[in-house]
Amino acid sequence: MKIIDALVRPVVAHYRITLFLMFLATVFFLYFMVQQEQDNNISVFFEKDDPVYMQYQNFLKEYSSEEFVVVALREDNLFSMPVLDVIRELTAGIDKINGVERVISLANVEEMRGEDDTIIFKKLVPDGTLAPEQLTQIKENITSNILLQSSLISGDGCTTAIFIELLPMDQAGKKSVLKEITDVTQQIAKGKTRLYYTGIPFLEMEINRLSKIDIRTFSPIIACLIFIVTLMLLKNFTLAVFSMLTLVITQIWGRGFYVMCGEKLNYVTSPMTAILLAIAIADSIHLITHFQKTFPSKGMDYRESVIDATKTVWLPCLFTTLTTAIGFFSFVSAPLRPSQMLGLYTAIGVIFAFVIDVTFLPAALILFQKRIEKVLISRKNSVFDNESGYFSMALNRIGRFSTRYIYGSMIVFLAFFILSIMGMMQLKFETNSSKHMHDSNKLKQDAMFLDKNIGGTIPFILLLNAEGNIDFTQPEALKKVEIVQQVIANHDRDYITSSTSIVDYAKEFNKAFNNNDDAYRTIPDLQSDIVDFYEMADQDILHRMISDDRKEVCMAFLAKWGANETAVELSKFYDTYLNEELGEGYNFRFTGITTLYIAMEELLKISQRRSLFVAFVLIFIMMYLVCRNLKLTIISMVPNTFPIAMTLGIMGWLKIPLDVATIMIASVTLGIAVDDTIHFVAWYKRNSKPGITPREAILKTFAMVGKPIVITTILLFIGFGVLVLGNFRPTQVFGVLTAFSMLFALIGDLFMLPALIMIFKPQVGGDQ
């Protein structure tokens, strides 16, 4: 206690200097906080040396960028001059935008034609005004073109897509280009047709936009609700304001430090704002409620009461800070980088909150001594706050119940544990970012429209390599590609909607080379013809389909936005099929955005197991340092598994998947829920004096620490519950489930923990 006394007294003695230094630090971190940015690119979820991510990057360098977006329109008669003119204007307007590499639409798509012993590339829709009979023939040609069906035009011929490939660029550049694409196309189409937008870059920008809205929404609402509840419970406006200031300062320090370290927010790390607001209030509530309870009843003057309150809660709050920080720091062991960053910087923010509470709060209490002292003395006999008040009476009854019906309570808890385990066995994982947005979101609606009418827009890539003397100038090798492409494309038409490979291009060439006869839309029989095809083909297109040494082909499949579970199942089938089909002479690998989502699912599973294990072990050690008794430590950990089991069980029963946000619930719950347990155990040890029975010590503990435990739980419930207002389902679900897990934790501490202590009666010595 001497060390704590030596730390607290200088803060109180030099309270003006303390507050001035806090002000300077807050201004410093505020400078960085206002510069925070958003980045929700898929790359932020992977370490740079991750094998799957490296393979994806190598694919992009070797073949082409997957940074493409789609603008689509639907008309009853696409092949009329007014509509075709709009498509031409849209294509030309988009093509002029800096950052656009190429545009493909009905206005410029070409076909190979054989004329006079040569191959020419001819537009399917010629320039200029076209006669009705020409339009009829063009429609017939395009709607019957196998390569264009379910990619550039819908099966009913009423919806068409404009594919826009973007140049590689940073987030700011991409945002600017997408805005210009939207502005240009809307200006052209205004009053003429309705446009639909989709594509991963659009999705990233929409998530960035919604994340910013969430941050602007969460902070003021959480702050206002916490202030109202704090004011109602503390019944002192000045003390409630001080509690809120600790939240604001913690928020500025935590987010400012995050930005200062060069990090950008994403939809996984954005909830850090709400988490810090909810958690940071706990220590200040414990300090203030203890100060209110002891002044002036112990006969100490105001200054000594502030010092005594700070010294009394200092050590328990330090341990709760460390356990909460450990709960979040356990995410650092997770293989997903956003989860790592959320865990690391939230843990640092929690430590900031403790430092602020034991420095700023005592100094502020001294600064406003006269105002606070007057109110405390006048309200000391409040019916709500004194020992015979409603709050204390309710806690006393709960304490008597939980120490009397101990075996009945344990049977009820055991039943809930069993039901929870049954629910956990039904848990599934989901990483598809389209599932994260509400169905009412316009971008999601546009994506669903394109999926239904045109087909998928999510790339799924198969790279097929030939070994030894085999290469893809040989007809047999191309026929192998054809078989593989057909099997993969046709296995699940509800998911894979179109496919493209060098085989499709070779067939069109062979047809053109043989007087445009459809009977020759086959792979050339002679290797020399295939070599000629490679020499005469458009090299830009060729480069996207086959390597320069002709030893590797790139098969591109477009998939719909769908459950990641579907992609995982299909991937397993493809692996099995290809290993059986290809045999010796070939090897393969899958890549593309879809494979990154699949890899993310596996990383989520690893994250959950690893972070929870690390958190449990480290928190167990911390609890032992608090309890100094192995039996009491084990007893204390049991109630903290109850909210985890309940929450995960509810997720399983309600079919709520584990994703990039909800994967953190178990570790977060463990890290936060243990805080109240620490306060309960610390006071129980103090009250367990010679001649005092365990039941008497428990009832006294309820009287001393019950109120702040209930208050902090209510505030945590509100803080996390506000996340339901977010724009992302994972964030909403994370908020709601974590909020209720706080209530489950409170139930465990108020009912299960006393019952366990009464049953096993751990021998502890009171702190004198």
pLDDT in tens, 542-589: 888 999 999 999 998 888 876 666 777 778 888 888 888 887 889 998
38: alpha, beta or left, given left = phi > 0 and alpha = psi -120 to 50?
A: beta
Taking the C-alpha atoms of residue 425 and residue 510, their distance in angstroms, rounded to an integer, is 55
Taking the C-alpha atoms of residue 315 and residue 323, their distance in angstroms, rounded to an integer, is 12
Predicted confidence at residue 382, as pLDDT, reads 44
Name the more confident of 151 and 690: 690
The dihedrals phi and psi of 96, each to the nearest 5 degrees, come to -85, -10
pLDDT in tens, 693-720: 999 999 999 988 888 888 888 888 888 8
**Rounded average pLDDT over 338-342:** 84
The token duo for 695 is 């039941």
On whether the CB atoms of residues 443 and 437 are closer than 8 A, the answer is yes
Q: Is the pLDDT of residue 285 over 90?
A: no
pLDDT in tens, 316-326: 888 888 888 88
Taking the C-alpha atoms of residue 269 and residue 299, their distance in angstroms, rounded to an integer, is 48
Half-sphere exposure of 346 (CA within 13 A, CB side): 34
The token duo for 636 is 């204390």
Mean pLDDT over each residue of the chain, to the nearest integer: 85
Taking the C-alpha atoms of residue 333 and residue 610, their distance in angstroms, rounded to an integer, is 6
Predicted confidence at residue 367, as pLDDT, reads 92
Q: Please report the domains of the chain, with CATH numbers, ordered by start residue.
A: 2-43+235-425+599-760 (1.20.1640.10), 67-204 (no CATH), 456-591 (3.30.70.1430)
Burial of 572 (0-12, 13-18, 19+ CB in 10 A): exposed
pLDDT in tens, 196-214: 999 888 988 888 888 778 7
CA 678 and chain centroid, separation: 30
Predicted confidence at residue 384, as pLDDT, reads 38
* Sheet with 552-559: strands ordered across: 496-500, 552-559, 458-466, 586-591
Taking the C-alpha atoms of residue 696 and residue 144, their distance in angstroms, rounded to an integer, is 86
Predicted confidence at residue 642, as pLDDT, reads 92
pLDDT in tens, 645-665: 999 999 999 988 887 677 778
pLDDT in tens, 26-35: 999 999 999 9
pLDDT in tens, 292-311: 877 766 566 888 888 888 88
Predicted confidence at residue 563, as pLDDT, reads 60
